Amino acid sequence: MEAVHITTPLDRKTIKELTAGTPVLISGTIYTARDAAHKRLIEALKMKEELPFVLKGQTIYYAGPSPARPGRVIGSAGPTTSGRMDVYTPRMLAAGVKAMIGKGSRSMESREATQKYKAVYFIATGGAGALLAQSIKKATVVAYDDLGPEAIRMLTVDNFPAIVANDIYGNDLFEQGRAQYRKEKG
Known active-site residue 5: no
C-alpha distances (whole Å) from 73 to each of 121, 141, 163, 171, 172 are 25, 12, 24, 35, 33
**What is the distance between the alpha carbons of residues 172 and 167, in angstroms, rounded to a whole number?**
7
Per annotation, catalytic residue among 10, 22, 26, 38: 38
**What is the distance between the alpha carbons of residues 91 and 41, in angstroms, rounded to a whole number?**
10
The number of residues making up the chain comes to 186
- Contact between 132 and 125 under an 8 Å Cβ cutoff? The reply is yes
Strands 120-123 and 99-102: what pairing? parallel
Would you please indicate which residues are annotated as catalytic (active-site) residues? 38
